[in-house]
Structure 1
């Protein structure tokens, strides 16, 4: 089973499968892209045709609305109607004969439009004077349509279906009296048949008509020639496609500015994609032919590439560690020759590296021997200082003996073996500082006083070795020794207001540092040019600052960095912070 898996994972099979997969992906992407582009093009063309149909139908609708508007305007401006409503306005009720005469006038105007079922005329108090009955306009129309007619001031308002006959649409216009400065004189209502708004007079080449739906402002169907039922609200809310069961329709809507009605032209989506099936078949056949041809070409190409590699692989298998020999095979393929040359170079390099490794092992053995020998030197120094101590103690030189033993312990603390830890506690570090100050006090006498203060809870806090002593050494050498008055060195180790930070402060009352020198030191601490060499050059400060960065890195907060404050005659104060809990992270 493992042998079959290795055979299947051969380079030739991988190249073959890789080429085939690339070809399939390319063909698939090209086919999908072409299919989508053509389908979108067909759909756009269909939508343009439908939109053109909608524009034409909307134009015909506006023409029909204009006819009704003209008819009602002529009735409203008729001289007899104006005179009759003027008399009504003055309180003179129209007689039966006057109202009967309106029948002939209405009939003459009504004959101009085939779809006009009838016309009605009302006074300002909603009483009907034609036809001759007592029906009120408020019973004929809803109140909001009357308000809209009043707000329109003579504009024709379409009020929807007739409550008495759903096949009739009502339109109302307010009549303005010309002789009374266009004062409100009454209303004219026209009843129009829905068939008047049939707009599907365009016939296609196959004899089919466009599917048109006309909706009023409330979303109710004014007229429609659809063979299927579609929800009018779905048509109103649709952006481009509406669904009816399994059938989808492309919707193009046109809104009439005169009436507020919406004209929707609908076309089945399948009619726009009939040509896509032919494209799909052509793409499928082309893809199959392309895949077959590419399979054959990929097989021959993968064989031609891998056959020389197999011969080179057999030559590599014959190479043994420690006895690698170059392969002298020559191939007709440039790339295979270069690969063989690289293999030969690798053989030469491997032989060289084997020799180098052998030499390094010899050098390492010698270095370890020297390291063992170097451990003897500090041991000899400590034993010699111990011998001096006992000799001085026997002779009664107690002060010199204390100095020698202090120096011995000082050296033991500084000179640690490679296996000793570089981390100590604050108590150990301050004990080392105290030994150094005792030695300096023996030399300077009453000229130097010192004080160490540390909170008890900080004694076991870990810190890197030899961070405080160099700063104390600076305070003694450049502060106390440079003044004739008694000097004081104060070392303070206290918790900081910052969480997990221990603040270390070394203060002296020496002559201080002048401004120029202080700026040079601060520049060096901030990564600038190092200060000029000489006495008081701040080398110890820079060393401590760099070690803080190496040990703590990004953990060193801005408030924990090493700072120097000094002035001429004001002494010098050096502060830095130690983050707590960093030893464990450093060791890990």
Structure 2
């Protein structure tokens, strides 16, 4: 580790990476701080704008409700009828119907009105509402809302949200209630009170405008800090409003973000209401967290890019030196054939050129020494080879053939001639290690001449191959080893006349050459071992020099077919004990022009 740190590559890499990382951290910190200030400022502005709009919306809404009560209080006919008393039942019925019609006209003036109730000082109750026939609360004079209205002096009293109607016990839907005392405008004498119940949805929807996050809680409080309406929290968890900031005048906005909550408050103009919006800082940090995550991802990506750049820069400078060191180590191991090609600084280029010239001169000297040594060995080999020259053997076998032919020993002469042709064929590897199927079959016929003579004509052979396949290319000495195995292990041990068949047939783009003997066959275990051996690595193994030569076997043939055509080709073995063995040689059929199918 210490040695690696002392290298040029490592030091340049660490220096560049440290500088880039420091710059990234400083820039990221400044960006994050600035983004945080902008987000806080933006959220505060949005909260103030929302609560200001909500206060203005409530002023418009309360102005409309106030107009409704004023229209009833200013109706001369209504105030007259409420004060008129008559002993005639018919007149009383007509008066009550007229009062109901006046109230109904006001009821239908605004769609959010649920019910309008007028309670006179004489205790009579007139109502117009969605659900008629309700049961009037006979104890209304002891209720809190009644006492509040009774104590007022004609101004609007905003009573707030109630779970049901204050007058009609049958009405159980939540309502927003407000009212005022009803006066006779002639002598300004109180004649009763008006209670109006409305659908709370408009107030709730307006209060929702305060929210700036899902966790925002919104409240409307009255003059004595009692909650008129709320959204977002149960009553048991309401904050202590006396401890919260409170605006001193209408439309004034107060902001408090010193605690773990952002609190904004505004005051309405018509009613002594204070609107609060309370948002947890954890909700506000959602956008900050996204910014932090985005920044972290960007920093990580930039660090990875910086690491790649640091590695590239340091590698560009250190690579020529590393390459030179690697080639020097090869020279130490005796490899003088390499050279270093770099395009770097002038000093390094000069050093590399000197090294290449030195290695080249050393390589030339070694080649001269090798040539001298090889010349001596070649002279010795040529002397030995002349003693066993193949042409000498061909000529000798031909001479024996003619001597036997003159003595009319035809059978033995055929054997000698076949042996001569086999030796000539198998020893001629000068051009290539491949041949045609026709040449291979001709070689087989010479081999079978010798075998049939040796077995005293106990072997019957049948070769059926169409002429169209005679030009197909295959490795030299492919079929002869298979026939040799068939004769040695399948036919000869029987000691009776046997039959051997060689045929060829096309299967799609492959040529299947079948060599079938009707001999002993193989046990299942032996067949399994043979197939497993063929499925192993097909690389030809070189036999040790101290082992006896066993000829070319199935594994050798299969490996050479693999190397020539690919692993899709080779030999397959089928056998059954007592029935014989079939070896199938699979090779490709060439297309026109010499390409394989």
Q: TM-score, normalised by structure 1?
A: 0.47
Higher Cα Rg, which structure: 2
